[in-house]
Amino acid sequence: MKKLLLFTAIILCLGDCFAQKVIERKNKLINNVTERYETVIEATKQVKHGVYHAFFGKKIVLASGKYVNDKKVGIWHYFDRDGTLMQNYDYDHNKLSYEAPEGAPLALSYNIDYYIKDNDVATQPVRPGGRYFGYVPYLRAFKLPPAMDDEDLNRYLVTFDLLISPMGRLAEFVVHISRRGTGVDQMVYNINTDLFSDDDKTFIPATLNKNPVASQIHVLCAMDLTGALDMLYLIPKKTTAP
């Protein structure tokens, strides 16, 4: 009986010690975007385990959800930079439960390599994570090319061309850099898709008449004086009643 009590006490002690290893982390993702999450310290790495939030600035929530052993679980909520709900995604069933209608102006545009006839029904590809937060991993992947030493970096526009396979995978990532107002590429290069996690390469594919098809997503970005990127985003002016 004493041995059983001693064994139970050891188990409880280990459980308490493990619980004490759960800490909160804060990490800057890109300019104006930070994440806060709970993590468990294991022997060789940190594992996200618990509540997760990402913020634009200090107060606007961009993403809200939960991790279990480094895996997203349950329904996550994704918002735009003005706090508008953009998407609800159910990671337990890998299912989109809500996607906000697209409105102008947008930094995103889409195309598929098919001629769409009048009676065809096409859907655009969808990135889990919403039409802003879902693209933060690609903004983070951009590095200012060494050849660009222009002091007026904010005069450049950067476009990402993301090729999405019919299986909903990121197949190619092409970067176009041009000066504002010219429409002429000054630099074009590829970013290796192997640099991204499996989660960051996952999309809901475009469809044509309910059949998955290959597609492209074009992401228009602005560059600041430091060479950092953010999606080009224009807030429509509010109108007042006469």
With tokens 């022997």, the residue in question is 43
What SS3 class is residue 227?
coil
pLDDT score for 43: 57
pLDDT at 4 over 50: no
Report which of residues 188 and 235 the model is more confident about.
188
Per-residue pLDDT band for 98 (boundaries 50, 70, 90) equals: very high
pLDDT score for 145: 87
What SS3 class is residue 224?
coil
Considering the entire predicted model, what is its pTM?
0.85
Mapping DSSP onto H, E and C, the string for 103-150 reads: CCCCCEEEEECCCCCCCCCEECCECCCCCCHHHHHHHHHCCCCCCCCC
**What are the tokens at 205?**
């594919």
pLDDT score for 236: 46
Instruction: Look at 2-6, 57-61, 138-142, 192-196 and tell me which has the smallest mean pLDDT.
Output: 2-6
Report which of residues 27 and 113 the model is more confident about.
27
pLDDT at 118 over 50: yes
Mean residue pLDDT of the chain comes to 86
Instruction: Look at 37-46, 51-60, 141-150, 171-180 and tell me which has the smallest mean pLDDT.
Output: 37-46
pLDDT at 14 over 70: no
Per-residue pLDDT band for 58 (boundaries 50, 70, 90) equals: confident
176: exposed, middle or buried (Cβ count in 10 Å: 0-12, 13-18, 19+): middle
* Each residue's pLDDT tens digit, 59-95: 899 999 999 999 999 999 999 999 999 999 999 999 9
131 C-beta neighbours (distance < 10 Å), count? 21
pLDDT score for 152: 85
Residues 128-141 have a mean pLDDT of 96
Instruction: Look at 4-13, 61-70, 204-213, 231-240 and tell me which has the smallest mean pLDDT.
Output: 4-13
